[in-house]
Amino acid sequence: MPGSIQQDGTAPDSFISADDGRRYWAGIDADVNGMLGGFPSVSRVDLRGSRSFLAKLGLGRVRGEKSVRRALEGGAGIGRITQGLLVEIAEVVDIVEPIAKFTSALEGQEGVGRIYNVGLEEWRPSDESSPVEYDLIWNQWCLGHLTDRQLEEYLRRCADVLSEDEDGKTRGVIVVKENMSTMGQDLFDEEDSSVTRMDESFRKIFDEAGLRIVKTELQHGFPSELYPVRMYALKPKDS
């Protein structure tokens, strides 16, 4: 795990540079080892924990049928989660990932829909000529590359395209699965230009984005030398 550093007196997210982050990832191998920072063995445990979390939200397979019509994976990398989990439960999975070499192998794959090769801060989900709505928007190990303001704005855009039921109540859900700082403050990492946030920081951003937490739990089974990882399921406050 890359070493984190502290910046006294200045908000850690102010040091984030999208260009620096993309330069870092452009130099990473397009495989599971690269995506997981040299810990490829955690992938199976990670996917199992995510699958269990979604099942508790009622998202999975119902009598053999996929319960999610359309999903989105934000910051998808090579599509590890799309291929290892989301296509199992969703009819179509769209992808947002700025590094094109990571997504090239996903083009034309069964179950993979639109591929947006842009950063999350640049992504715009739809326009009037091509509307889209999602039952599930999955974000994992990518949100640290957004400043607090960018993250709030991104989550608002996600909320705007969540699916609704026949009564106009929000059916779709946003999932955030990220490392947690346990140092009493958010931590900036120079190596990949990202921030590891505290649970309190995430909750504040969710609140400011107009979202409420409908479920949250820690991922279990990871090596002790890694950061704790927490999952949040989010919906608009007014839903």
Taking the C-alpha atoms of residue 47 and residue 66, their distance in angstroms, rounded to an integer, is: 17
**Hey, what CATH topology would domain 12-236 get?**
Rossmann fold (3.40.50)
pTM, two decimals, is 0.94
Condensed to tens digits (0 to 9), the pLDDT of residues 16-70 reads 999 999 999 999 999 999 999 999 999 999 999 999 999 999 999 888 899 999 9
Is residue 189 within 8 A of residue 3, CB to CB? The reply is yes
* Contact by Cβ (8 Å): 154, 121: yes
Looking at residue 164, the DSSP 8-state letter turns out to be B
pLDDT for 239 beyond 90: no
Q: Token pair of 127, please?
A: 């326009």
CA distance 153 to 44: 32
